[in-house]
Amino acid sequence: MIKEKTQIIRKTGILEFYPQTDSFNDVGGLAELRDWFAKRLPAFNEEGGRAGLPLPKGVLLVGVPGCGKSLTARALSSAWNAPLLRLDIGRVFGSIVGKSESNLRSAIATAEAVSPCILWIDEVEKGFAGAGSRRPGDSGVTARVFGTFLSWMQEKRSPVFVVATANKIEALPPEFLRKGRFDEIFFVGLPGPKERDAIWRIHLAKRHRDPDAYDIESLVKGSGGFSGAEIEQCVNDALFRAFDARHQQQPDRDLSDDDLANALAATTPLAKSRPQDIERLLAWAEHNARRAG
Ligand SMILES: Nc1ncnc2c1ncn2[C@@H]1O[C@H](COP(=O)(O)OP(=O)(O)OP(=O)(O)O)[C@@H](O)[C@H]1O
Ligand SMILES: [Mg+2]
């Protein structure tokens, strides 16, 4: 069955089938978001239809880069046991004039044929930026494709759950954010101490190290303002440091607290280098989105 579905998807080129790799065990924090998903699962299944629950349409995840938006889309696919299709919004706007709208329509038709499924539209702002105001040379194509997408979202009756992600809210047309399009808009922000604790543990365990053998408390303290991706990067960097030391002169040497501390000290998180970006997002999220964790 899955094989057949994969075939349909290959033909279109705009949709990509993603194998289920991550689960929510790989995600640190984002408790609110997970809880929301857990409550919607019955509604996504037939059981919920019989109980009269409205079919979940989708969520928009807005947030700080590297905090787990894409990871969440992949984990949701495992949690709901539904195939994950990634829609490349850039490819919808192909080079052939007049093809963009039909590209989107055929991608939608494919997703519906494959449903129940998760349709993941990453960095949605890149495709729909300026849909409200005409871009020079665009002649309204973006606006038309955008309109097609919005009306599909509004009228959708098939179990195609959309997970759209965005980093830049300024670029999103306001219609996108209006109620009724997405079930909810979540803000995925920088992890707090409890979440960082979980994230350090996840990434150490992924590299086959026992998290309890390390000074997690110091790592959590030292990584204030770090994203999940930056924490993962530190673990990787520390592993290289350890490997290098072992090669040099210490054959028994494994990853140490010092390696991790040194990697941490060598990293400048985005929150430090570009604080204005994050502050702007936070100010927007306060009134426009629900917190993911
Ligand atoms: N909350 C988290 N828990 C565990 N790992 C995380 C978390 N957030 C990020 N990571 C790690 O960082 C990687 C990159 O994160 P991800 O791609 O999900 O970020 P993103 O929010 O989609 O960022 P971008 O806006 O740049 O696309 C993940 O694959 C994962 O390994
Ligand atoms: Mg992403």
- Answer yes or no: is 184 within a domain: yes
Minimum CA distance residue for ligand 1 atom 1? 28
pLDDT, average across residues 134-151: 78
29 lines ligand 1 (CB under 6 A): yes
d(CA 196, CA 258): 18
Q: Which of 124-128, 266-270, 275-279 has the lowest mean pLDDT?
A: 124-128
Q: What is the CATH classification number for the domain harbouring 200?
A: 1.10.8.60
pLDDT of 192 over the 90 cut? yes
Domain match, 136 and 166 both: yes
CA dihedral (202, 206, 212, 217) in degrees, to 10, reads: -40
Which one of 188, 209, 237 terminates a domain? 188
Instruction: Check residues 1 and 157 and name the one with the higher pLDDT.
Output: 157
Residue located via tokens 């705009």: 14
Domain match, 136 and 206 both: no
pLDDT of 130 over the 80 cut? no
Domain match, 126 and 205 both: no
Alpha-carbon Rg for the chain, nearest whole angstrom, is: 21
Highest mean pLDDT among 123-127, 173-177, 262-266: 262-266
24-68 pLDDT tens trace: 999 999 999 999 999 999 898 877 777 788 899 999 999 999 999
pLDDT at residue 98 in the model: 73
Domain match, 206 and 169 both: no
Q: If residue 165 lies in a helix (H) or strand (E), which one and from where to where?
A: strand 160-166
Residue 165 CA to ligand 2 centre (angstroms): 7
- Answer yes or no: is 290 within a domain: no
pLDDT of 5 over the 70 cut? no
**Which atom of ligand 1 is found nearest the CA of 65?**
25
Q: What is the CATH classification number for the domain harbouring 92?
A: 3.40.50.300
pLDDT of 138 over the 80 cut? no
Q: Is the peptide bond before 116 cis (omega within 30 degrees of 0)?
A: yes
d(CA 268, CA 225): 9
- Answer yes or no: is 176 within a domain: yes
pLDDT band at residue 4, thresholds of 50, 70 and 90? low
173 lines ligand 1 (CB under 6 A): no
- Answer yes or no: is 9 within a domain: yes
Q: Which of 164-168, 195-199, 211-215, 250-254 has the lowest mean pLDDT?
A: 250-254
**Which atom of ligand 1 is found nearest the CA of 202?**
4
What is the separation of C-alpha 270 from the centre of its chain, rounded to a whole number of angstroms? 18
Triad 164, 193, 212: Cα angle to 5°: 110
Q: Which ligand is nearest to the CA of 204?
A: 1
d(CA 21, CA 40): 22
State the CB neighbour count (10 A cutoff) for residue 237: 17
Domain match, 6 and 117 both: yes
In one letter, which amino acid is 204? Answer: L
Domain match, 198 and 263 both: yes
Minimum CA distance residue for ligand 1 atom 11? 229
> What domain range is 200 assigned to?
193-272
Domain match, 24 and 157 both: yes
Domain match, 236 and 140 both: no
User: What mean pLDDT is reported for the chain?
Assistant: 89
What percent of the chain clears pLDDT 70, i.e. is strictly above it?
A: 92
d(CA 178, CA 155): 15
DSSP at 93: S
Which one of 163, 188, 213 terminates a domain? 188
pLDDT at residue 136 in the model: 59
Instruction: Check residues 131 and 158 and name the one with the higher pLDDT.
Output: 158
pLDDT at residue 145 in the model: 87
pLDDT at residue 176 in the model: 83
CA of 99: how far to CAs of 102, 110, 175, 276, in Å? 5, 16, 23, 39
3-state class of 20 per DSSP? coil
Residue 263 main-chain phi, psi, to 5 deg:
-65, -40
Domain match, 234 and 260 both: yes
pLDDT at residue 133 in the model: 60
pLDDT at residue 212 in the model: 98
**Which atom of ligand 1 is found nearest the CA of 293?**
1
- Answer yes or no: is 264 within a domain: yes
* Number of domains into which the chain is organized: 2
**Which atom of ligand 1 is found nearest the CA of 71?**
18
- Answer yes or no: is 283 within a domain: no
d(CA 72, CA 63): 12
pLDDT at residue 186 in the model: 96
pLDDT at residue 102 in the model: 87
- Answer yes or no: is 291 within a domain: no
Domain match, 253 and 146 both: no
pLDDT at residue 172 in the model: 82
Minimum CA distance residue for ligand 1 atom 13? 229
pLDDT of 246 over the 80 cut? no
Which one of 148, 163, 188 terminates a domain? 188
Residue 27 CA to ligand 1 centre (angstroms): 8
3-state class of 163 per DSSP? strand
68 lines ligand 1 (CB under 6 A): yes
pLDDT of 86 over the 90 cut? yes
d(CA 263, CA 269): 12
- Answer yes or no: is 83 within a domain: yes
Domain match, 35 and 175 both: yes
d(CA 175, CA 72): 24
Q: What is the best residue among 25, 71, 120, 199 to mutate for testing ligand 1's pocket, by most ligand atoms within 8 Å of CB? A: 71
228 lines ligand 1 (CB under 6 A): yes
Q: Which of 12-21, 71-80, 160-169, 262-271 has the lowest mean pLDDT?
A: 12-21
Domain match, 113 and 220 both: no
Residue 233 CA to ligand 1 centre (angstroms): 11
**Which atom of ligand 1 is found nearest the CA of 229?**
12
58 lines ligand 1 (CB under 6 A): no
Minimum CA distance residue for ligand 1 atom 27? 65
189 lines ligand 1 (CB under 6 A): no
**Residue 223's closest CA among 271, 189, 273, 258?**
271
